[in-house]
Amino acid sequence: MKDTILLTGATGALGSMLLRRLLDQGYEVVCLVRAKDPSEARVRIRAITGNRWEVKVIRGDIAEPQCGISDIDRQLLAGVKRVIHCAASINFQDKNEIQLTNVAGLRHVLELTDMLDARHIVHISTAYVVGDAPYLSEKSLFLGQRWNNPYEESKFIGEGMVHAWALQRKERRFTIFRPSILVGCEDGTTSTLDGYTRYIEPLYRVAKSLRNHNGKPPPSDVLIRGDGQIRVPLAVLMADKRINYVPIDWAADMMVAAIDLPPCNETLHFVHHDPLRLRDGFAWSLDYLKIDGVVICNTQNEKDIAIRAQTPFVRRLQRRIDAVHNVYAPYCTAEPQFEMEAALRGLGAKFRFPPTIDHNFLQRLFSYARLEFWDADKQRRVLG
């Protein structure tokens, strides 16, 4: 009989994949679900698992002390041996939300772990605790780095909290998983918009609006051809670097395979061994969108010069693009390197390298995003 696991974030994109895989592997999983009542919590999990598995579900909220577990629900947690903490906010801009969820929330999860006398926590972090440092090993955390956003900083703080928790009692153990940037599944599907399709979406919407111009002539610096091809001199900040994307289902496969490794206070990276070159991916993206004329800029100064040359109409389009792209700018201008030895060593024959992020992969992502999100106005979920 395998361990009973308490899983937070089971309704999120990564958490839901972990849940199904853990159940497939024979684990008994108790899901902590944020909901207005226990009935709603069960409905949310049933939407993920269907009728295939019976799963224990308790209503809770990591924003509350000891996760707001009721005395009755504590009985369902009897026998929990380890906690997998996957719940998190990926909001890059709202520092208060980030602190409440990723820092205070982790503190409450650690409190609950102690209350259950569970001695092993698996904490999902990110390889981008690297911040602005050039390299991150699996044994490193404190590099003197600065962070690009509150999300990265909160994950750095969280790892420190997990380390401090483990040091308080000799029997405590942790495992930290650091995936790089998660994008859609290998087949292109994803339950929420991933980071890359979110980056491309405003370009798609600009192109769509230009094609629907209702016969009005475009400005002199915009060309709309009969075949739908659009030429528009938008400016994008993008150095000639690589970016570390991995498919979310590959990351979930590797994490579940690593759950049974002996807990020894170790950090494992799940990153791409051959990262996508940014400009290749962007060129393939523009090809899919049927857009050309975009100015690729190495520096912000180059971009500012390109924007000054735009007509007022294109400058308005530029502001729509920048509202999203500015958030991602740090990932388009740096190329941190990541070690990945612990997973290779620990998993042995169970380890497989992630698939190549190529033209065909991105085509699958965009086709799915267009069908399910871009043209469907489906609401995005921010919290796992």
Chain segment 316-335, per-residue pLDDT in tens: 999 999 999 999 999 999 99
Residue 379 reports pLDDT greater than 80: no
Task: Using pLDDT thresholds of 50, 70 and 90, give the confidence band for residue 1.
Answer: low
Q: Token pair for residue 51?
A: 């009728």
Chain segment 223-232, per-residue pLDDT in tens: 999 889 999 9
25-35 average pLDDT score:
94
Chain segment 203-221, per-residue pLDDT in tens: 999 999 998 876 678 888 9
Chain segment 59-90, per-residue pLDDT in tens: 999 999 999 998 888 888 988 989 999 999 99
Residues 152/133, Cβ–Cβ less than 8 Å: no
346-372 average pLDDT score:
95
Chain segment 139-183, per-residue pLDDT in tens: 999 999 999 999 999 999 999 999 999 999 999 999 999 999 999
Long-range CB contacts (within 8 A, 24+) of 72-77: 73/38, 74/115, 76/30, 77/6, 77/30, 77/116
On the 0-12 / 13-18 / 19+ scale of CB atoms within 10 A, 146 is exposed
Which pLDDT score is estimated for 380? 42
Contacts with 168 (C-beta within 8 Å, 6 or more apart), sequence order: none
User: What is the rounded distance in angstroms from the CA atom of residue 303 to the CA atom of residue 237?
Assistant: 6
Which pLDDT score is estimated for 384? 32
The average confidence (pLDDT) of the chain is 93
Domains of the chain: 4-179 (3.40.50.720), 195-241+277-334+366-374 (no CATH)
Contacts with 210 (C-beta within 8 Å, 6 or more apart), sequence order: 218, 222, 224, 230, 232
Which pLDDT score is estimated for 6? 97
Residues of the chain above pLDDT 70, percent: 97
29-54 average pLDDT score:
93
48-57 average pLDDT score:
91
